[in-house]
Amino acid sequence: MRVRGADAPWLRPYAASLAWLDAAPPDTRTAQRLESLRQRPGAASAVPTFVPHEWLPTGEAYEAFIHRTGQVPTRDNAHDAFNGLVWWRFPATKARLNRLQATEIARLGIGGRRGPVRDALTVFDENGALLHAPPALWAALRARDWHTLFVAQRAWWREAALVLFGHALLEQLQRPHKALTAHVLCVPMPAPPLDPEPNVDGDGAAPHPWDAALAATLDGWSAEAWAAKPFAPLPVLGVPGWWPDNAHASFYDDARVFRPPRPPTPIGAGAAGA
């Protein structure tokens, strides 16, 4: 798997593992590439096995199969390769999300719609992000106050760290465009290491420093908490240092991307006779 822009800032947490995958012979299947990460020093032990996608039985839900077998069906494409890399970096968190998906499938079955809990889990799994930031940035993010977040308080980003969790978002950033938006989980992350840039993937495929704390936090969440979709939208190319054009304040004037907050619903709106 050859990744475009492998030195991009959003790929730093996955950089060493990506290089390992790219070193495999060209005809190596994606599942084999991901399995080869077990050979690295410090590799996580709790990561499920990656198997070819055709091992998924017809009619069985993908998430239910992973939960039942401890195997991740993997297609030979960038989407599934990034999914595997996130499994290696966040094994405890991914396992927690998979258990929740499997529980909902066992409870409700597979129908034409996932339902609110599985919808929210899928949003985070595909497009989620994790943020450590000063309170002023968190407040601006939740308020969708883009000028404060990216212009007035821009210097605060030196104390922030954003890690993309969603594998679909990582795949889409192979062809970056301004509208790409992460769903930031509204759970502030611990402070990152003092020097998180060099060798961010460690000497092996070790879990990210945030994985254990995040999984422990999510263990206490109810289905209702997920159904409420506890996310804040963040156009990722607006992050200082992530895209050259955002050095100019006018970059954030595009209301199609940096959308204003929704106005509050008037009291009584939608009631009979309103």
pLDDT tens sequence across 20-44: 888 899 899 999 999 999 888 777 7
pLDDT score for 193: 63
- Give the model's confidence band at 1: pLDDT under 50 very low, under 70 low, under 90 confident, else very high: low
In the chain, domain spans? 9-198+206-253
- Give the model's confidence band at 273: pLDDT under 50 very low, under 70 low, under 90 confident, else very high: very low
Q: What is the average pLDDT across 171-195?
A: 89
Helix (H, G, I), strand (E, B) or coil at 49: strand
Phi and psi based region of residue 223 (left: phi greater than 0; alpha: psi -120 to 50; beta: remaining): alpha
Give the C-alpha distances (Å, rounded to integers) separating 264 from 137, 141, 149: 22, 17, 21
* CB of 197 closer than 8 Å to CB of 12: yes
Cut 0.75: pTM above it: yes
d(CA 35, CA 29): 10
Phi and psi based region of residue 184 (left: phi greater than 0; alpha: psi -120 to 50; beta: remaining): beta
DSSP state of 26: T
Average pLDDT, the chain: 88
DSSP state of 90: S
With a cut of 70, say whether residue 131 has pLDDT above it.
yes
Q: What is the average pLDDT across 116-126?
A: 94
Q: What is the average pLDDT across 150-172?
A: 96
